[in-house]
Structure 1
Amino acid sequence: MNTTTQKMVEQTIESIVQITNPYGSGSGFLIGELIVTNSHVVSGLKEVLISTKTLPKTIGTVIYDDPAFDLAFIRSPISIECKNPLILSEAPVQDGDGVIAIGHPYGLNYSTTEGIVSKASRLQGEVEYIQFDAAINPGNSGGPLLNDSAEVIGVNTFIIQNSNNLGFALPSYTLKEALDQFNALKTEDVIRCGSCKNLIVESTIQNDYCPKCGTKLDVAKRRREGYKPSGVVALIEKILAALKINVTLSRRSQRSWRFEMGSSRIDINYYDNGIVIADSALCRIPQENIEALYDYLLGENSVLERLQFSINENTVYLSYVIVDSSLSETHGMWALRKLFDSAPRYQKHLIESFNAPEPKFDEFE
């Protein structure tokens, strides 16, 4: 990455948003007070998790969903401060122009790639896109495509699978038109009908049909129904809610949750083989006093109820492991409460008594 590009990234990074929901994750960016992203990134939900360099993970409200142009607007409950806010480019895009794509592919935060415009206007169905060759991947969707002046020329929207860097971005003029139409309504909870292309206020929709043309609005149904876990997933979330954990904020996917408990981080994962594992990474193995540490862990394992210590590579974990068919609300609440209480205490003891280094966490969120 050249110096000019690096400076551009530093200037714009505060405007880049990470977006997650139970179905997946993607990117977005701030234009004025609204977060812009793709419709497919918000997955038809009214609430998604958002975070930036300056905004901790919080619940954002999807106030505009436009499957026709694959656009969505999100409002943050907290004002996001940006020293260098992004603006939409008014200059025409030309073949061969340099571009920069910023986003969170595969959860790798604030990844940046460079390329050129391969085709300034490429028609796909009824929509025009900018075709470019900067490498983007799942998770880049919804992020900005920038020109050499760090202005937004498009919204990164899709790639052609198994191709050599064939990316497509919705042009900024289409985004501006949608923003203008939405702002003119002076209301929220708006969707665009994919058939007649009219903007529809949700309160005017009956039985999920467009009041203008009568077309069935699938996005209206998804927004009305929301995310509804079932089975063991619903049971896990019921237990977490009873333990005063904010389930929406902790949800990383349909079968994964993460949250802080004192000084410790708790991860809960429900695997396809039916195993539920709740664990906390306490510390890493020290270079000295290893035998004494092992003796201590083995001694504690012999008296612990429902919890156990384990070592994966060089990290010590305190875990609760159970088969889904054996999980009950009473059993789960007792074990998880014990894990929540014990993890910070054991972490403090291992670090102080055995000079164990603190755990390292990767950046995948």
Structure 2
Amino acid sequence: MNTQLLLETYIENIIQIMTPYASGTGFIINNLIITNSHVCSGLKEVVIKAKHIPRSIAKVIYDDSYYDLAFLKYEFSTPKNPLLLSQDKIENGDTTIAIGHPYGLNYTTTEGIVSKSSRLMGDLEYIQIDAAINPGNSGGPLLNEKGEVTGINTFIIQNANNLGFALPSHYLQDALMDFKKLNIENIIRCPSCKNLIQEKDIKNDYCPKCGVKLEIAKLRRKGYNPIGPTKLIEDILKSLDINVDLARRSQTSWRVDKGTSRININNYDNGIVIADTKLCAIPEVNIEQIYDFLLEENNNLSYLQFSINENSIYLSYLVIDSSLTKKEGSIAIAKLIKDANKYDTILINKYGALRQKIDTED
């Protein structure tokens, strides 16, 4: 099966996973979403998205820092072509395909070979591959030519050429069996004694079996708690009835889709907060009339301002984070959300501006 056909066949199984700290990939096996523990960053809930799943919240019901595995729970329709775990022995030189979302580039596939079928790292064996994998690929499936899962893409050697490592699927099979035997959720595997511990039985973040400190338990207990300008921006979004968990792209970036417009909010390192939306594009005709209209509107607008960058028209709200208040920020972002579609329609219908495309998978 060639790479493109393989992706088309199994694309429903591939999940994008996002947290305030990072993004990664997951895949569906036995009605669970499988990914790496480090992708979930010790959180109890993460944001997921897929071809058949809009941005949604999934629960992390199993977190295993030893194998670097996590299982997510979400109610979804069973994929038409479900992925299966390979039972074949992996050999050096086998063709292998990695699917994931590196750097947010959705459904990227790379092909390579197994450089070494069993590379011992610590006390676990990994599949060494030369297929290019990058940040965002973590937690995604490594497939053979039959489209079966041979491993979970887990880490790379930084500043090296295509040195990637995948956890073999037999470890995943073992973890799934251990988890399903318990038939309960919110399980943490102790990386020291390897016992599976129900979260409610953990006291003061220590393993009740061997007494080792469980960092994952601590992270899950603390959760994500924004501070400073980040908290203020999220409070503003909540005041506008926006689901902050779904809007959040990182600790300093949010996105809201309303109508035909997409509003991006970013808190930059230099202390500038910019909320903006990319409207339509300048056409080949009526350019002078559009400029006149934008300049006139800028004189009349409060909080917002038009600008042009690389032929695209932007409507923006800019403020220094130390000057941002909940009241003023709420008014400005509400106006931005409301006016974005209005001005887009005016510029397209009256002045012949060109409608922009929005990547709905992004």
* Stretches of 4+ aligned residues off by more than 3 angstroms: 360-365
Any conservation in 2 of the 1:142–1:157 contact (CA below 8 Å)? yes
**Aligned partner of residue 53 in structure 2, secondary structure:** coil
Match of 1:329 among 326, 329, 344: 326
| CA positional deviation for 1:287 | 1.0
| CA positional deviation for 1:98 | 0.8
**Residue aligning to 1:65:** 63
Rounded to whole Å, the distance in 1 between the matches of 2:94 and 2:8 is 21
Mapping of 1:112-123 within 5 angstroms?
112-123=109-120
**Residue aligning to 2:183:** 186
**Residue aligning to 1:27:** 25
1:261 equivalenced with 2:258 (yes/no): yes
For structure 1, the 5+ residue unaligned runs are: none
1:295 equivalenced with 2:292 (yes/no): yes
1:305 equivalenced with 2:266 (yes/no): no
**Residue aligning to 1:234:** 231
Any conservation in 2 of the 1:54–1:81 contact (CA below 8 Å)? no
Return the letter of the residue paired with 1:228. N
Mapping of 1:90-239 within 5 angstroms?
90-239=87-236
Q: CA RMSD in A?
A: 1.1
1:348 equivalenced with 2:345 (yes/no): yes
Deviations 1:276-322 (A, max 9, x none): 00011111111110000000000000011111001111110111100
| CA positional deviation for 1:5 | 2.2
**Aligned partner of residue 56 in structure 1, secondary structure:** strand
Deviations 1:194-224 (A, max 9, x none): 1111111001001110000000101001011
**Aligned partner of residue 356 in structure 1, secondary structure:** coil
**Residue aligning to 2:73:** 75
Match of 1:37 among 35, 38, 51: 35
Return the letter of the residue paired with 2:47. L
| CA positional deviation for 1:355 | 1.1
Deviations 1:158-215 (A, max 9, x none): 0111112111100010000000000111010001111111111001001110000000
Deviations 1:6-30 (A, max 9, x none): 2112111111110011001011100
Rounded to whole Å, the distance in 2 between the matches of 1:364 and 1:60 is 18
% identity of equivalent residues: 60
**Residue aligning to 2:54:** 56
Return the letter of the residue paired with 1:256. S
Paired residues, number: 362
Deviations 1:217-271 (A, max 9, x none): 0100101110000001000000100110000000000000001123211110000
Return the letter of the residue paired with 2:305. Q
Rounded to whole Å, the distance in 1 between the matches of 2:227 and 2:198 is 30
| CA positional deviation for 1:362 | 5.5
Deviations 1:15-70 (A, max 9, x none): 11100110010111000210000011011011111111111111111111101111
**Aligned partner of residue 3 in structure 2, secondary structure:** helix
For structure 2, the 5+ residue unaligned runs are: none
Return the letter of the residue paired with 1:94. E
Rounded to whole Å, the distance in 2 between the matches of 1:288 and 1:81 is 50
**Aligned partner of residue 54 in structure 2, secondary structure:** coil
Any conservation in 1 of the 2:3–2:109 contact (CA below 8 Å)? no
Rounded to whole Å, the distance in 2 between the matches of 1:335 and 1:11 is 45
Rounded to whole Å, the distance in 2 between the matches of 1:80 and 1:209 is 37
**Aligned partner of residue 236 in structure 1, secondary structure:** helix
**Aligned partner of residue 218 in structure 2, secondary structure:** helix
Return the letter of the residue paired with 1:176. Q
Rounded to whole Å, the distance in 2 between the matches of 1:4 and 1:232 is 48
TM-score by length of 1: 0.97
